[in-house]
Amino acid sequence: AVRLVIHGADADPQRQADTRAVCALMAKAAKAPAVMWGPSIVGFGHRRLRYPDGREIDWMAVGVSPRKAATTLYLTGGLDEYADLLADLGKHTTGKGCLYVKKLDDVDLTVLTTIVARSVSLAKKA
């Protein structure tokens, strides 16, 4: 089991609680234990990530990282795969392939759970 220790700029108690809650949600959806992917990403499940240039790497089905600005969620597929759900999620932002949530209290947890489940499902098809 991964013991999530958040320190430094990411030691905000709310960010810690949010990240632990997202980890629990992801572990349940992926039916997989937490695995550290580098120094700060907690991932669940497994898939092969294929880049447009043909390069492939091992990657997680879904993951989370407590960053200074927001809790970052790593999802399978592009964010277009979640457009229908993101509209109902609540307060969030997105990046190239990530979903950013400042506070879990600002989002609908039922919608977030569906997003995470979809990511796991897409990873199994990849």
3-state secondary structure 3-29: CCCCCHHHCCHHHHHHHHHHHHHHHHH
Q: State the pLDDT at residue 3.
A: 58
Q: How far apart are CA 1 and CA 11, in angstroms?
A: 21
% of the chain residues with pLDDT over 70: 91
Each residue's pLDDT tens digit, 13-36? 888 889 999 999 999 999 999 999
Q: Which pLDDT band holds residue 4 (cuts at 50, 70, 90)?
A: low
**Secondary structure of 37-93 in HEC code, one letter for each residue:** ECCCEEEECCEEEECCCCCEEEECCEEEEECCCCEEEECCCCHHHHHHHHHHHECCE
pLDDT at 57: 85
pTM: 0.88
